[in-house]
Amino acid sequence: MNAAGFPLLTLLTFLPLVGAAFILTQRGEEEVVASNARWTALWTSLIVFGLSLILWFKFDKADAGFQFVEQLDWLAEFGVTYHVGVDGISVLFILLSTLLTPLCILASWDSIRMRVREYMVAFLVLETMMVGMFCALDFVVFYVFFEGVLIPMFLIIGVWGHSRRVYASFKFFLYTFLGSVLMLLAILLLWFRAGTTDIPALFDHAIPPSLQTWIFLAFFASFAVKVPMWPFHTWLPDAHVEAPTAGSVILAGVLLKMGAYGFLRFSLPLLPQASADFAPFIYVLSVVAVVYTSLVALAQENMKKLIAYSSVAHMGIVTLGIFTFNVQGLSGALFQMLSHGIVSGALFLCVGVLYDRVHSLEIARYGGVAKIMPAYAVVFMLFTMASVALPGLAGFPGELLVIVAAWKVNPWVAFGAAFGMILGAAYMLFLYRRVAFGKLTKQDLMGLLDMSAREKLVFAPLIILTIWMGVAPQSFLSFFQASVTALVARHEAALGAARLAGM
Amino acid sequence: MFVGAVFFPLLGASIAGLFGRWIGDKAAQLVTITCMVLAALCGVTLFFEVAFGHAPQTVQIMNFVDVGGFEVSWALRYDTLSAVMVGMVTFISTLIHIYSVGYMSHDPSRARFFSYLSLFTFMMLMLVTADNLVQLFFGWEGVGLASYLLIGFWYEKDSACNAAMKAFIVNRVGDLFFMLGLALTFWTFGSVEFDTIFGSIEQHREATFAGFPAYEVIGVLLFLGACGKSAQLGLHTWLPDAMEGPTPVSALIHAATMVTAGVFLVARMSPVFEYAPIALAIVTVVGASTALFAATIGCVQNDIKRVIAYSTCSQLGYMFFAAGVGAYQGAIFHLFTHAFFKALLFLGAGSVIHAMSDEQDIRKMGGIWKKIPATYALFWIGSLALAGVPLFAGYYSKDFMIEAAFAAHGWTGKYAWFCGMAAAFLTAFYSWRLIIVTFHGEPRADHHTMEHVHESPPVMVLPLVVLGLGATFAGMVFAPYFIGHDWQAFWNGAIVNGPANHIMHDVHEVPEWVPLAPTVVGLSGILVAYIMYMFVPSIPGKLASAFRPIYLFLLNKWYFDELYDAIFVRPARALARMLWQKVDAGAIDGVPNGVASLAVDVAQGAVRLQTGRVASYAFTMIAGLAVFVSLLAFGAVR
């Protein structure tokens, strides 16, 4: 059946739902229910993570095709099947989702006091949606999960968020949903033409260039908002600022990757001609994203907003890498997505540590924290440095590969991308300087406690991963090597065929 | 041993950094110093084994990245060039660790300090032993991080935090170009590993980039990267500010090791630079200008460490112009001797600051030479070496570089010679100005401070003595190998001089007065300093008021900081604010928000449409149906 011997991906996808259902059956005293909900959610997500490790060990890195495939009839008369599987591009994102979920649950342990049961349910449902989205191999299944992600996230921001949570959650929902509707139209069109929504089958279905343009634009509307690319990014700072810490972690860690994943999974292989045509346009948007949002980040006075803008800049590197269409660029983009998932997630957790103590996100409220929270200062410094792409930490290999790849395409594009290195250092160090360095003068900060054992436990895996990805990136790059090479080869073949046909 | 020389410091840094709070300061110091001594033993042994035993070697550690032909691995490359650097770095760093035990004895977070120092040493060693550009960049940025942490060591001081940020960000400007140079190198040679690059130099000579020879562009980009790290004209502004860090840091990072990384890079890439004459000309001109420019500023500064910092900047300029005229060996030799005497001067300055109860302004010193005789004597040795007085270390290397500039062809060499000579005069002048104002004359400190002036403890003086020996003899002993008649056997191909480059030979053919000239100029600089500050101390004041604009221009460091503030920092901030508040929150966010409020208006309008009259609903439905049918009929849907 597949390498695991049992329907692993289905289990990974729906096991969280089982946990969620169990939590919903809990009745009784509020404290007890809350405690049960926390532990159930933690154990469910830990089991899911444990199971997902099978992917790490059993995944065949030499195979460029889909593995762990499961296919069941679903809506046979419409050519829709329940089809899941992973290849080198998606496999690590499933691991990223299953890793971040237990960490988020652990990070919300004490900070969420209201409606704990519903909060945990929302997180488990979110995990189902994320995992399902990354392993879907049918457009309808994909679309269901892709949109399904919005619902728990909408609730997490809207219910457990901060003061302007309703505005932010509606903005988040409507913005991303509007784009997706256009994608639905594109999917319907593809289904009309090919009679199937099976993704691997569609890869072999050639689409005439004129139509590719329209489909590309429809996909672009959806993915560009999700990434988010400049100028569709303004929902992100608001969503981040209002979301609870764990919500921000998932938002930055996984949800932002969905757009870029969509480009990689659909736009490039299905629409090679349109992708090539639109590449210069994407370069411009990406470079603008890097330079513009880095500058905007420099002016921020709110910690979460600053990191949110830095995310947009980092995702600019990702979209740039994807549209270079060469092995270095695609690998670098994928690596950057993973490392950004870890690093920006960790940075939001760092902000959360302070927020839990002081209940303020204003940078000016802090200063001199390093004096009383030395362990925290070290952790924060580590992730700050990873974020500015210091070699030896997770942020560097991706950025290096993308810049090298971009140079091949156009040196000025590479220059723009690399310019983010300077600005990135400026805004991150400026943030760190204002929060951690300086003299400790504010009275109420003097009594802050350093990180608790639970907080250290949350950071430990992220620290290990950050250093591991920085020192031995090849152990991650090797996962997507074969798939990326195949993707690039197919892209070039498709363009070559189109050129021949045009002659 | 190859691995030990590099990784012992990392071990020490990790133990002191992670467990420093549990094992205590004493243990942390002990661990880091033990590790450094072990590393130095390995490093110095390797220096003799590799450089004199002619046994270059590369130790593979593990694969870093291998993506579509972009292959990079962690590896330690030991050839003569690396061995010289490894030996020098581990040796000097060990001395500075030991010195710090005394210097930092009153600081509450010593474990952190020693951890940073060792971390820095590790990064520097990774830099010099890199066998590809990516690993070199790892060390390159790593020393940047360590220097950021060390400059900002006293993070409660605002000035220290700002200086640390400035150092990191200005370095990043250089790193941007390094990164681009790396990218072009890869697309030119298909590799970033030194062996592959140097092996295929001939094959790719005709390669062009945007109409320019690719080697020239690579050379210029890498040199711009080197400018950031080595504080060359334009990107030098961080170095004087970096003096906010503890003095041993200034000695280790901002004199002996990190700032020389740029010179090392140019020497390492010598096979490429040899075929990039324009890039070399740029290196020469920038280096020579920096040598002179920094020396002029050094003459009027009043902070003891800043004078030495500008002196470092100036000496780095010397190294660059030597490399620029093709005498890389001379540049590295000066780097080597400079490490001894500049570390000596910095640590000596630290000893003075220690004695003066943390006073750094030389106008508030004076009359202390009898109270701290050992420091005074060692300061003399350092200055003699710096000024290039015969038989001291600096004499051999500096004379060689100035002669090389004279021997070089073209106007750039002549320009470098002129700047080098002028700077040699100024160097001697500001060195003795520093000695005289600091140690001689009437005591200008308050009574309380003067009572406390004391010689430093042995743990600080001993490293100074060792460095003093180096500053005295390193030139004499090593000159025959680095630049003398054994140079070819010694370097063993680690530095490449192109077939047309005969500078190593030509240097010995210059007219007789040329080797003498720097010495004469240097001695006259000392003499002028004596006249102005010892015998007729009223001259400096009169000169300053007579040429007030020039004096202010120099005192304010040619207004570089103000200039950059006006053209980069403030516009960037204003732009950032404008983009955020006007463009982002105004224009871009205005669209969805505008649409949202429009939707609300429309909805309110739509409410009015719901009149409840069946007839109007029916009419609307029919109209809609009509439109739909006609669209279908004309085939507009599919």
DSSP designation for B455:
P
Residues in chain B: 638
DSSP designation for B359:
-
Helix (H) or strand (E) holding A191: helix A165-194
Name the token pair of B108: 């509450």
Question: What pLDDT is recorded for position A260?
Answer: 92
Distance separating alpha carbons of residues B292 and A249, to the nearest angstrom: 53
Residue with tokens 């100024």: B426
Name the token pair of B92: 């000097």
Helix (H) or strand (E) holding B58: strand B57-67
Select the residue from B7, B66, B67 to test the A interface by mutation, using most A Cβ atoms within 10 A: B67
Question: What pLDDT is recorded for position A501?
Answer: 66
A472/B62 touch (CB, cutoff 8 Å), yes or no: yes
CB B361 within 8 A of CB B307: no
If we measure between CA atoms, which residue out of A75, A307, A90 comes closest to residue A197? A75
Assess whether pLDDT exceeds 80 at residue A402: yes
Q: Region A249-253: what's the mean pLDDT?
A: 91
Question: What pLDDT is recorded for position B578?
Answer: 80
Among the partner-chain residues A371, A391, A419, the one whose CB lies closest to the CB of B137 is A391
For the stretch A368-381, pLDDT in tens is: 888 888 889 999 99
Question: What pLDDT is recorded for position B609?
Answer: 65
CB B251 within 8 A of CB B350: yes
Positive or negative: CA dihedral B624, B625, B629, B630: negative
Question: What pLDDT is recorded for position B416?
Answer: 92
Residue with tokens 């999960």: A145
Name the token pair of B414: 């002549």
Q: Does B174 touch chain A (CB under 8 A)?
A: no
A418/B589 touch (CB, cutoff 8 Å), yes or no: no
CB B330 within 8 A of CB B404: yes
B64/A472 touch (CB, cutoff 8 Å), yes or no: yes
SS3 assignment for B593-630: HHHHHHHHHHHHHHHHHCCCCHHHHHHHHHHHHHHHHH
If we measure between CA atoms, which residue out of A491, A364, A486 comes closest to residue A65? A486
Question: What pLDDT is recorded for position B638?
Answer: 43
Question: What pLDDT is recorded for position A503?
Answer: 52
Name the token pair of A128: 């189902």
B56: preceding bond cis by omega (within 30 degrees): no
Q: Which residue of A has its CA nearest to B126?
A: A392
Question: What pLDDT is recorded for position B86?
Answer: 92
Q: Which residue of B has its CA nearest to A412?
A: B180
Q: Which residues of chain B fall below pLDDT 70?
A: 606-618, 628-638
Q: Which residue of B has its CA nearest to A419?
A: B176
If we measure between CA atoms, which residue out of B209, B169, B171 comes closest to residue B189? B209
Among the partner-chain residues A192, A292, A407, the one whose CB lies closest to the CB of B184 is A407
Three-state secondary-structure class, residue B213: strand
Distance from CA of B214 to the nearest CA of A (A): 13
Chain A residues with CB-CB distance to B134 below 8 A: 391, 400
CB B559 within 8 A of CB A205: no
If we measure between CA atoms, which residue out of B379, B373, B341, B458 comes closest to residue B105? B458
pTM of the complete model: 0.90
Distance separating alpha carbons of residues B581 and A31, to the nearest angstrom: 44
Distance separating alpha carbons of residues A36 and A49, to the nearest angstrom: 20
Question: What pLDDT is recorded for position B420?
Answer: 92
Distance separating alpha carbons of residues A348 and A366, to the nearest angstrom: 16
> What crossing angle do the helices spanning B110-129 and B261-268 adopt, rounded to 10°?
20
> What's the ipTM?
0.91
> What crossing angle do the helices spanning B158-189 and B214-229 adopt, rounded to 10°?
160
CB B259 within 8 A of CB B239: yes
Task: Say how many CA atoms lie within 13 Å of A330 toward its Cβ.
Answer: 25
Question: What pLDDT is recorded for position B637?
Answer: 43
Distance separating alpha carbons of residues B222 and B212, to the nearest angstrom: 16
- Interface A-B, measured as beta-carbon pairs within 8 A, has a size of 149
> How far, in Å, are A171, A437, B13, B154, B186 from residue B249 at the CA level?
51, 19, 15, 12, 35
Distance from CA of A76 to the nearest CA of B (A): 24
If we measure between CA atoms, which residue out of B66, B68, B55, B77 comes closest to residue B132? B77
Chain B residues with CB-CB distance to A436 below 8 A: 155
Q: Does B145 touch chain A (CB under 8 A)?
A: yes
Chain B residues with CB-CB distance to A299 below 8 A: 573, 576-577, 579-581
If we measure between CA atoms, which residue out of A196, A224, A350, A213 comes closest to residue A284? A224
Distance separating alpha carbons of residues A184 and A428, to the nearest angstrom: 39
Phi, then psi, of A8 in degrees rounded to 5:
-60, -50
For residue B382, with 0-12 CB atoms within 10 Å meaning exposed, 13-18 middle and 19 or more buried, which class applies? buried
For the stretch A341-356, pLDDT in tens is: 999 999 999 999 999 8
Residue type, B583: V
A298/B70 touch (CB, cutoff 8 Å), yes or no: no
Chain B residues with CB-CB distance to A300 below 8 A: 580
Chain A residues with CB-CB distance to B173 below 8 A: 422
Residue with tokens 């002016």: A299
Assess whether pLDDT exceeds 60 at residue A1: no
Q: Which residues of B399-429 are buried (b: 16+ CB within 10 A; e: fewer)?
A: bbbbbbbbbbeeebbebbbebbbbbbbbbbb
Name the token pair of B321: 């112009």
If we measure between CA atoms, which residue out of B228, B239, B232 comes closest to residue B174? B228
Angle formed at CA A333 by CA A332 and CA A337, multiple of 5 degrees: 115
Question: What pLDDT is recorded for position B59?
Answer: 87
For the stretch A280-312, pLDDT in tens is: 899 999 998 899 889 888 888 899 999 999 999
Distance separating alpha carbons of residues A217 and B284, to the nearest angstrom: 53
Q: Which of residues 265-284 of B touch A (CB under 8 A)?
A: none
Q: Give alpha helix (H) positions in A323-394.
A: 327-358, 369-372, 374-387
Hey, what's the torsion of the CAs at B417, B418, B424, B427, to 10 degrees?
-130
Chain B residues with CB-CB distance to A397 below 8 A: 64-65
Assess whether pLDDT exceeds 90 at residue A463: yes
Q: Does B210 touch chain A (CB under 8 A)?
A: yes
B66/A485 touch (CB, cutoff 8 Å), yes or no: no
Residue with tokens 């590809």: B132
Residue type, B75: A
Question: What pLDDT is recorded for position B264?
Answer: 93
